[in-house]
Amino acid sequence: MPRGGSIAKHMFFKRIEMTGFKSFATKTVVDFMEGVTIVVGPNGCGKSNIFDAIRWVLGEQSAKSLRGAKMGDVIFQGSSTYKPMGCAQVTLVIDNEAGLLPVDFSEVSVTRRLYRSGESEYLLNKMPCRLKDIQDLLLDTGAGTDSYSVMEQGRMDDIVRCKPEERRVLFEEAAGISKYKVRKAEALRKVEKVEQDLVRLADRVAESKTRTISLKRAAAKAEKYKALRDAADLAEKKILTLDMQRISLNFDQIEKDYREAKDRLAVVQSQASVVEARREELQLRVDEADASLRDLSQAKEDQRQYINDAKGEMLRLKNLADNERRRAEDYLKQVTDNDKQKFEITENLADINAEEARLTAKLIGLVAKQNIRRAEYDRMRTDSDATRVRLRDLRKEMETATAESQRLQTEQTRLLLKIEQIDSSNGDFNQRLAEHEEIMLRLNAEIDQKREALDQNQVLLSEIQEKLGQLQGQGVEELKARDTLRGEHRTIERQMQESRSRLNALERVAKDYEGYFRGVKTVMLAAQEHQLDGVIGVVPELITPIHSEHDTAIEVALGNHTQDVVMRTDQDAKQAIQMLKASRDGRATFLPLNVINGREGGPEIENVLGRPGVVGLASRLVAYDPYIQKVVFDILGRTIITENIDVSMRLTREGKRNRYVTLEGELTAPSGAMTGGSRQQSQIMSRQREVNELAKQVETLTEQEADFARRIRKREESAVALDAQCAKSREAIQDLRLKVGQGETELAGLRDQRDQRESIFNEQRERAASSQSDIERCKAELEVCQAAVVQAETLAQARRDELATLEESVYERNAEAEQMGESVNQNDQEITHLRARSQHLRENAATFNQQRQNMLRRETQIRNDHDRALQAAQDLMDQSARVEAEKIELEREIDGIDEKRLAAAKAKEEAQQANHEEMMRSQQLMSEFSESNNRHAETQELFVNAQSELKQVRARSLDRFSQEIEVIVQETGEVSDARIDLSDEIESLRDDLARMGDNVNMGALVEYAEENERYEFLTKQENDLMTARDSLRETIDTVDKTTRELFQQAFDQIRTNFIEMYRTLFGGGRADLVLQDVPDGDPLLDGGVEIVAQPPGKKLQTVSLLSGGEKALTAVALMFAIFQYKPSPFCVMDEIDAPLDDANVGRFRDKLREFSANTQFIIVTHNKITMELADTIYGITMQETGVSSVVSVNFDQVERLAITAS
């Protein structure tokens, strides 16, 4: 029995449901039974769309494979009666009664939807899922878009033409190793990820281990440092307490003396201020008297000058007044001459006005008479024209009335005949109209109910879609933000890794003291191993240039001192020298702190500092521990850094013979010797700076990396929450879309029924109304026609009579009009002559009027000038009188000024006497003020000094301990120690602290505990990842072993089946399957499968040289060989028998009949031989263009369809 037979008996396709897929516009359900189901139909009817629907719902991702340009082409595009669909949906139902699929359902439905917007959904038993979930479910069942159970004509050709590696997929599917390959691929991805994680984690573990060891040493040092610092603080607090007690004893008396001296000084200052103010007041009075005397003398002189000016002004005003009187007399003479000329112009103007009045009266009479004649003439012409028009109209009306009378008589006869016809043909429409109306009312009620329910669903759908859009937008934004953060996070991780690697390398170099002499390196390594005491460090470690641009200069300034070792004492140095001698590890220079007594600068150096081009003293351009200050002064205290060598040379030439080093490293010795040129930097100084900068950079990047990781997790959690909400919204939307679609379909059906009924109803109602209205209209037209006949005959006779009368009066009116025209022309000529004469007179009158107006204006101007001249003369006389009065008043004011001068002189003398008295009083007070001020200064100095000491004690208390001095005194209590003993104790403790250095990390205690915990955690993670990697590799080995065994078994059996099947289908010949070798690989894992075939009567050749029919039959043989090994529970074929002749189709049919016992076949075909297999037949038809439907077809119809297709 073939493998998999049990599966075929208990699992098969149950039905497929299609809505809006390709040509299936409405919901179409095709039930599949066990055995063979045949789908037939003419070309272009859409039967292959069922095959496409099965492939599509199983996850086909290629639009080209579905015969489309893009995936949206599978959605129904509309027809003449159906609108385009917005969604394509296919559901495939699988019978799982035996529970062979790994789900707890006896019936499994797989659904796929695609919307025009591009959104796609997969559902498994109506629950949203991924395509991968569906593929995993059907894995190794033979069902899939690329498996051997889905065959079409093009697919069969591909099996023959494809590469051996691609053909191998069919054998893997049959062997059941697809799931193993998937597991292996997943395991390989996991191994790769674990390896990457291990690489990253190894760096972190190494970094954490190094940091833990360093922090452990720092923590021990910090503990010792803290104990020393606490002891120094206690001693310093005791000194503060003693100082506070000493200051408090004398402070109150000093403050009292200072207050008394200050008060006495204030009293004396007050009295002196009063006297000084009195003196200033008296001096002000003296000054005011002097000013008053000067002002009065000046005023007297000014008044005399004013009197002289007034006399001259009076004479000038009198002369001006005489001139104005003479001008007034001249103006009177001009007025008399102007009156004579005005009289003559007035007489001429009166004559012209009289003549013009006479002509105007005559002209008015003629114009009035002419208007009457012209109006009469125009009336006659108008009457004549109107009469001629009326004559013409009467003739036309008479002819028209006669013709209308004849036409109306004919129409009267026609209407009588039409009324008889309509009465005879009118039926009983009323009963049929009532029936249609009742049906329409019922349909409208159903439509309203459906429409209301549909509107509610659409409103709810819009709300949920809007919410989904918002959620999707938020989700996209969250994912974009997360991806952005991930990119930045990766950048920071890369930067941190680079910086950490560089830092580790530099720290290793520094730790091994590379670049130092062998003797120096031996000493420093011995100090690290605690084999040598008293080593402070090498000079470059203890000195750091404040600015990086000074690195080269400082390194040159140090010279050979870069290899010097600073020791605590000369005894320590001696011990180190003895160690080097004993080990024969070279020599070293040592700088004992207790012996070195370097000094900084000097007068000759200070004079140079601050000069142009001088950067500064080398010892002031570096940072160092004050503990080694003497060493720094010794090696750098007399070296000056300059900007360039020109500055060094200039200073040397000026006699400033010092040691100069430029920023570029040129050295000038005090002797004048110069050293420079190209040099290879040792990088000892810059290396330590780079280590410090990298350490800070790594710390900053570590904090940033942790912050980004936290933000990424937050974004991912938000995105997951939004995805969950989106999934719920999509499910609700899909349910509503189905409801809306069903509602629209039902509503469209009801509307179609209503529209058909309404069309019939309206047609019948219109016919009934039309018949009745035709009768009424004809009767009305008949009555109108009869009346119109009588009216037309009467009108024709009236027009004949009127025409005769009008023709007689036309001749008489024409003669009268000619006589009236001649009279009108004569009057027009006379009126033109009179108008010209009148116009000439008006022009003359205008000229005389203009002259008269000019004279009137001239007379007015002359009279005004005369009046102004008289008024000016009077004004000048009045002004002269006022000046005379002012002169008299000024003479009286001069007498008053003399009296005021006498009074001011007397007041000045009195103020000077009082001022002298106050001056004597002020001198006495100044003597008292000097004594009080001296006393105040003495007490103030004592008080300020006491305050300063108290402030210093308080400031020291706050600066050192952040506590008020009173609190410290209370905490310390009674101090019995002497102040000098406490100072010595503090000095000793500070020396101990200084020897420990400033680089004591007080946070190392907490940092060590945290870092040690982190190191243990990372170590555990690393061990777990290694275990997982080993486990994954074992899994891959197991999968490879299982894959080899299963593939070897399947290939051998399928090869045997193929050889036999080929002979059966071809009636002879031979064929074989060859497994290709893989360079550096295992053929059983990766080797392709080659087909070799030899049809009967031909030579052995590759399948690419076979004919189309031979290729198709070879592919069928291979597929049947696979089915023999592992029958699929279901197989779908689309016209794969098309290239075969009848003989081969017969053999093909016979084999299918054998396999149908274990496999469900769904076959799309035109071939009547293949149709003989059918247990169930479905016919696909396209009654309406573009829309496919499923119909039942009997076997006679199948025969006819097959003949038609062939």
Within 13 A of 967's CA, how many CA atoms are on the CB side? 7
Query: How do strand 1089-1094 and strand 1101-1102 relate by DSSP bridges?
Result: antiparallel
pLDDT in tens, 102-136: 787 888 899 999 888 888 899 988 888 888 888 87
Helix/strand/coil (H/E/C) assignment for every residue in 738-752:
HHHHHHHHHHHHHHH
CATH classification number, 516-584+595-681, choose in 3.90.1580.10, 3.40.50.10490, 3.40.50.300, 3.30.70.1620: 3.30.70.1620
Highest mean pLDDT among 52-61, 292-301, 760-769 belongs to 52-61
* Token representation of residue 665: 């490293």
- Across 70-79, 435-444, 633-642, least confident range: 435-444
What is the structure's pLDDT at 887? 67
What is the structure's pLDDT at 8? 38
- Across 216-230, 600-614, 770-784, 918-932, least confident range: 918-932
- Whether the pLDDT of residue 168 is over 70: the answer is yes
- Whether the pLDDT of residue 680 is over 60: the answer is no
Q: Phi-psi category of 734—alpha, beta or left, where left has phi over 0 and alpha has psi -120 to 50?
A: alpha
String of b and e for 1032-1053 (b: at least 16 CB within 10 Å)?
A: beebbeebeeebeebbeebbeb
Query: Scanning the structure block, which residue is given the tokens 């000056």?
Result: 640
What is the structure's pLDDT at 368? 72
**Residue 1065 CA to its chain's centroid (Å):** 68
What is the structure's pLDDT at 799? 66
φ, ψ (nearest 5 deg) of residue 1089: -115, 120
- Across 12-16, 585-589, 934-938, 1193-1197, least confident range: 1193-1197
Domain ranges of the chain: 1-149+1135-1206, 516-584+595-681
* Token representation of residue 128: 């949203």
Q: State which H helix or E strand residue 388 sits in.
A: helix 178-425
Q: Is 935 exposed, middle or buried (0-12, 13-18, 19+ CB in 10 A)?
A: middle
CA distances from residue 65 to 114, 153, 590, 600, 1167 in whole angstroms, order as listed = 17, 12, 86, 90, 23
Helix/strand/coil (H/E/C) assignment for every residue in 287-320:
HHHHHHHHHHHHHHHHHHHHHHHHHHHHHHHHHH
What is the structure's pLDDT at 9? 46
Q: How far apart are CA 599 and CA 606, in angstroms?
A: 13
Q: Which of 620, 622, 623, 667 minimizes the C-alpha distance to 642?
A: 667
Q: How far apart are CA 464 and CA 1077, in angstroms?
A: 58
Using a pLDDT cut of 90, give the percent of the chain over it: 2
Within 13 A of 976's CA, how many CA atoms are on the CB side? 0
**Rounded mean pLDDT of 440-449?**
78
For the CA atoms of 511, 516, 519, 522, the dihedral, rounded to the nearest 10 degrees, stands at 10
* Contact criterion met (CB below 8 Å) for 52 and 22: yes
**Rounded mean pLDDT of 158-167?**
75
What is the structure's pLDDT at 429? 56
pLDDT in tens, 661-676: 998 888 888 878 888 8
- Whether the pLDDT of residue 771 is over 70: the answer is no
* Token representation of residue 558: 């140090």
pLDDT in tens, 87-105: 899 999 988 887 778 787 8
Q: How far apart are CA 1106 and CA 835, in angstroms?
A: 125
Query: What DSSP assignment string belongs to 44-103?
Result: TSSTHHHHHHHHHHTT---TGGGT-SSGGGGB----SSSPPPSEEEEEEEEE-TT--SSS
Q: 1077 versus 158: which is more confidently predicted?
A: 1077
φ, ψ (nearest 5 deg) of residue 96: -125, 45
Q: State which H helix or E strand residue 1130 sits in.
A: strand 1130-1134
What is the structure's pLDDT at 661? 92
* Token representation of residue 125: 């038993």
**Rounded mean pLDDT of 245-272?**
70
- Whether the pLDDT of residue 367 is over 60: the answer is yes
* Contact criterion met (CB below 8 Å) for 38 and 1165: yes
The SS3 assignment for 587 reads: coil
* Contact criterion met (CB below 8 Å) for 573 and 535: no
pLDDT in tens, 41-83: 888 888 888 888 888 888 888 777 777 888 888 898 888 778 8
- Whether the pLDDT of residue 283 is over 70: the answer is no
Query: Scanning the structure block, which residue is given the tokens 């990820």?
Result: 193
**Rounded mean pLDDT of 1111-1120?**
80
What is the structure's pLDDT at 4? 36
Work out the angle at residue 149's Cα, subtended by the Cα atoms of residues 144 and 152, and round it to the nearest 5 degrees: 100
Using a pLDDT cut of 70, give the percent of the chain over it: 72
Q: Please, which pLDDT band fits residue 566 given cuts at 50, 70 and 90?
A: very high
- Whether the pLDDT of residue 700 is over 80: the answer is yes
- Whether the pLDDT of residue 413 is over 80: the answer is no
- Whether the pLDDT of residue 820 is over 90: the answer is no
What is the structure's pLDDT at 642? 93
pLDDT in tens, 469-509: 787 778 778 778 877 887 887 788 777 777 776 677 666 66
Partnered with residue 410 across adjacent β-strands are none
Q: How far apart are CA 342 and CA 871, in angstroms?
A: 28
* Token representation of residue 1000: 């004591």
What is the structure's pLDDT at 428? 54
* Token representation of residue 1024: 């777990």
Q: How far apart are CA 813 and CA 221, in angstroms?
A: 148
Q: Which of 326, 271, 422, 206 minimizes the C-alpha distance to 870?
A: 326
Q: 255 versus 444: which is more confidently predicted?
A: 444
- Whether the pLDDT of residue 1193 is over 60: the answer is no
* Contact criterion met (CB below 8 Å) for 1151 and 1182: no
Give every CB contact of residue 607 below 8 A, 6+ residues apart in sequence. 656
Cβ atoms within 10 Å, residue 339: 10
Question: What's the whole-number average pLDDT of the chain?
Answer: 76
Cβ atoms within 10 Å, residue 587: 12
What is the structure's pLDDT at 7? 39
Q: Which of 84, 79, 86 minimizes the C-alpha distance to 1183?
A: 79
**Rounded mean pLDDT of 201-209?**
76
Asked whether the CA dihedral 1061, 1066, 1068, 1069 is positive or negative, the reply is negative
Give every CB contact of residue 1004 below 8 A, 6+ residues apart in sequence. 215, 218, 219, 221, 222
- Whether the pLDDT of residue 145 is over 50: the answer is yes
- Whether the pLDDT of residue 85 is over 70: the answer is yes
Please check whether the domain covering 1-149+1135-1206 is classified as CATH 3.40.50.300: yes
pLDDT in tens, 853-909: 777 777 677 667 666 766 766 776 777 677 777 667 766 766 777 777 677 777 767
- Whether the pLDDT of residue 973 is over 90: the answer is no
What is the structure's pLDDT at 592? 92
Helix/strand/coil (H/E/C) assignment for every residue in 473-494:
HHHHHHHHHHHHHHHHHHHHHH
* Contact criterion met (CB below 8 Å) for 656 and 672: no
